[in-house]
Amino acid sequence: MDEINIDQSYVGHPTVFSIRMHHGGEFTSFPGRKYIHGKQTFVDLLDIDTFSVHDIDEMMEDLRYASVGKPLYYHFQWPLGNLDFGLFALASDEDVRYWGVLWLIIS
């Protein structure tokens, strides 16, 4: 689906959103933390009413990061925050919904 069709898909659906996932990289040291050597993947047409941390798990499996016995950690970067102080853990469905709803309110 091209960008124009994606934009039209959101009209009239206030709980539908996209995410940009950064993965495969690493954080530099504090202060002035940066994320380097990573990739970006966009996932479109997600619905905050049904989105959960398990959906993120599935995305990571699709990207081939899931490994038995190796934990994965997810974070949300506050849009106006930086990587030193603007990252928040996404450890549960409640975390995912909280940040998703908050983002929908401010955007």
Q: In the chain, where do the E strands start and end?
A: 16-23, 26-27, 35-36, 39-47, 75-77, 87-89
Q: What is the pLDDT of residue 28?
A: 98
Q: What is the pLDDT of residue 3?
A: 56
The whole-angstrom separation of Cα 90 and Cα 57 is 11
Q: What is the pLDDT of residue 58?
A: 92
Residue indicated by tokens 């929908």: 104
Q: Where are the alpha helices (DSSP H) in 11-79?
A: 53-62
Residuewise pLDDT in 10s, the chain (107 residues): 555 566 677 777 888 888 899 999 999 999 999 999 999 999 998 998 899 999 999 999 999 887 766 888 899 998 888 999 999 999 999 998 888 778 777 76
What total number of domains does the chain contain?
Answer: 1
